[in-house]
């Protein structure tokens, strides 16, 4: 949805990026807060489902591809512009540091996959997913080191128009089915009103608070049991329940607290109202094939591309103020990929300045060549600000 913006806005200098935050002067936008797993028991049920059978449900999930293949137009005049002063939020660990340069490209620990499924199916002692999918996402700076950034339609269900996608978890550093820093269950989702109501691509971003991560004790969540009340026992799903013994109720209790997300992998900073044309690294898990059938990516390992941003429009998805970058990423799985400016390969930290919401073949050769993102302005910062100071805690 087009908003009135002043073209030719202010440019953020390297000194500003190193120094800290400039808060927009405008009022905060409409940030829509939606609950995900609101109780510790609900979160345990979700985590146990995704971690069951040596992460079989994570491995079986397929890339989410809702509205990823879009006709986009590179525009040379106009385009997105700052709606107030440019500003940044420093990355975790970078609050008092200056940005260093590195020639090597070390992949960030902050990037991973978000997984979600319509429901669970419990048959013959095993739990499986109903329509399990995944997107890309990244950990970002927040007061309690518990915040994930991704595309809006990796949180809000644009296909069925339900409130949110169900059974949502984040797995940082995902690698071929492995969860090196644990599984983090989503607690609260924050999106922009214009995206929730109008599915406006210019506001297609989301921030999700997550509980502390959990890991399976010795690799098996079934190795221990815990006594609970009958009322609590009934809140657990069948894959967590154990048979009653002598009038006492038990559930599986083989999980240990992995700690806060940002404490384990760090968190990227946030940059908004930046000048279009900055170099940006894109990190994500692309999968699927190009229009010509070339299967370029598997989605099992983290990939990256690099290029400068430019103005893009995609009318089919109400995208009037988008930015693009040249990228060979295919759309499936790449949704939610993090766009980082001023990325330091040595510290694996930078500033999140975009999230992939779609890809396009702009030259007609049947190969995707452009990824695009909403322009991060004061509206984005307002949604981020609504989420960044909320506590989640442990579920163990």
Element of type H or E holding 76: none
| Tokens coding 206 | 């989301």
Residue-level pLDDT at 205:
97
Is the residue at 274 inside a domain?
yes
**Predicted local confidence at residue 61, as pLDDT:** 95
DSSP symbols for 156-200: S-TTT--SS-SS-EEEET-BTTB-TT-BEEEEEEEEEHHHHHH--
Alpha carbon separation from 272 to 178, 211, 294, 312, 380 (Å, rounded): 33, 26, 35, 17, 8
- On whether residue 352 sits in a domain, the answer given is yes
Give, rounded to a whole angstrom, the gap between the first and last alpha carbons of the chain. Answer: 42
Give the pLDDT confidence score for residue 276 in this predicted structure: 95
Q: For residue 6, is it within any domain?
A: no
The rounded Cα 41 to chain-centroid distance in angstroms is 23
Number of domains the chain is built from: 1
Residue 290 inside a domain? The answer is yes
Pairing of strands 62-63, 133-140: parallel
- The DSSP bridge partners found for residue 341 are 351
Look at residue 3 and tell me if it is in a domain.
no
Within-domain flag for 394: no
Neighbours of 40 (CB within 10 A): 15
Written as six digits, the tokens of 171 are 């797995």
Q: What is the 3-state secondary structure (H, E, C) of 310-370?
A: EEEEEHHHCEEEEEEEECCCCCCCCCCCEEEEEEECCCCEEEEEEECCEEECCCCCCCCCE
Q: What pLDDT score was predicted for residue 218? A: 55
User: Across the chain, what does the average pLDDT equal?
Assistant: 85
Q: Give the residue ranges of the chain where pLDDT is below 70.
A: 1-29, 66-79, 81-87, 90, 94-104, 159-163, 217-223
Please indicate, yes or no, if residue 168 is contained in any of the structural domains: yes
pLDDT of residue 86: 64
Q: What is the pLDDT of residue 216?
A: 75
Cα(374)–Cα(386) distance, integer angstroms? 18
Measure the CA–CA gap between 172 and 187, rounded to whole angstroms.
16
Domain region containing 169: 14-387
Q: Report which of 20, 59, 5 is spatially closest to residue 376, judged by C-alpha positions.
A: 5
Query: Positive or negative, the Cα torsion across 12, 18, 19, 25?
Result: positive
Residue 95 CB: number of other CB atoms within 10 A?
11
The reported pLDDT for the residue numbered 26 is 41
Confirm whether 9 is domain-assigned: no
User: Tell me, what's the pLDDT at 68?
Assistant: 58
pLDDT of the residue at 29:
55
Contact (Cβ atoms closer than 8 angstroms) between residue 333 and residue 284: yes
CA distance 304 to 308: 14
């Amino acid at each position: 949805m087009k908003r009135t913006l002043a073209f030719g806005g202010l440019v953020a200098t390297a000194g500003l990026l190193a120094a800290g935050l400039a808060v927009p002067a405008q009022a905060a936008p409409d940030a829509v807060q939606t609950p995900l797993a609101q109780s510790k028991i609900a979160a345990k049920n979700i985590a146990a489902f995704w971690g069951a059978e040596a992460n079989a449900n994570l491995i079986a999930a397929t890339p989410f591809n809702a509205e990823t293949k879009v006709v986009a137009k590179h525009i040379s005049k106009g385009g997105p512009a700052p709606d107030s002063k440019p500003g940044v939020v420093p990355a975790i660990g970078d609050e008092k540091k200056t940005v260093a340069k590195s020639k090597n490209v070390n992949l960030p620990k902050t990037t991973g996959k978000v997984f979600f499924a319509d429901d669970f199916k419990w048959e013959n002692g095993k739990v499986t997913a109903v329509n399990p999918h995944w997107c890309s996402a990244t950990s970002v700076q927040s007061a309690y080191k518990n915040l994930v950034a991704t595309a809006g339609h990796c949180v809000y269900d644009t296909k069925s128009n339900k409130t949110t996608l169900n059974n949502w978890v984040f797995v940082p550093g995902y690698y071929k089915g492995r969860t090196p820093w644990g599984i983090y269950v989503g607690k609260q989702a924050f999106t922009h009103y214009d995206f929730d109501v109008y599915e406006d691509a210019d506001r297609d971003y989301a921030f999700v608070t997550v509980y502390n991560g959990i890991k399976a004790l010795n690799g098996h969540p079934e190795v221990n049991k815990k006594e609970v009340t009958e009322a609590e026992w009934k809140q657990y799903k069948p894959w967590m329940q154990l048979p009653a013994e002598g009038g006492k109720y038990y559930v599986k209790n083989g999980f240990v607290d992995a700690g806060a997300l940002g404490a384990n992998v760090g968190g990227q900073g946030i940059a908004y109202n930046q000048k279009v044309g900055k170099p940006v690294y894109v990190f994500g898990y692309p999968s699927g094939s190009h229009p010509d059938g070339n299967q370029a990516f598997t989605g099992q390992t983290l990939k990256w591309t690099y290029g400068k941003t430019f103005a893009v429009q995609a009318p089919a998805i109400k995208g009037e103020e988008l930015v693009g970058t040249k990228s060979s990423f295919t759309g499936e799985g790449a949704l939610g990929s993090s766009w980082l400016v001023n990325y330091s390969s040595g510290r694996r930290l930078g500033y999140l300045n975009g999230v992939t919401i779609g890809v396009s073949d702009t030259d007609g050769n049947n190969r995707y060549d452009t990824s695009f993102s909403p322009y991060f302005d004061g509206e984005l910062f307002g949604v981020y600000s609504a989420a960044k100071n909320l506590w989640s805690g442990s579920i163990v």
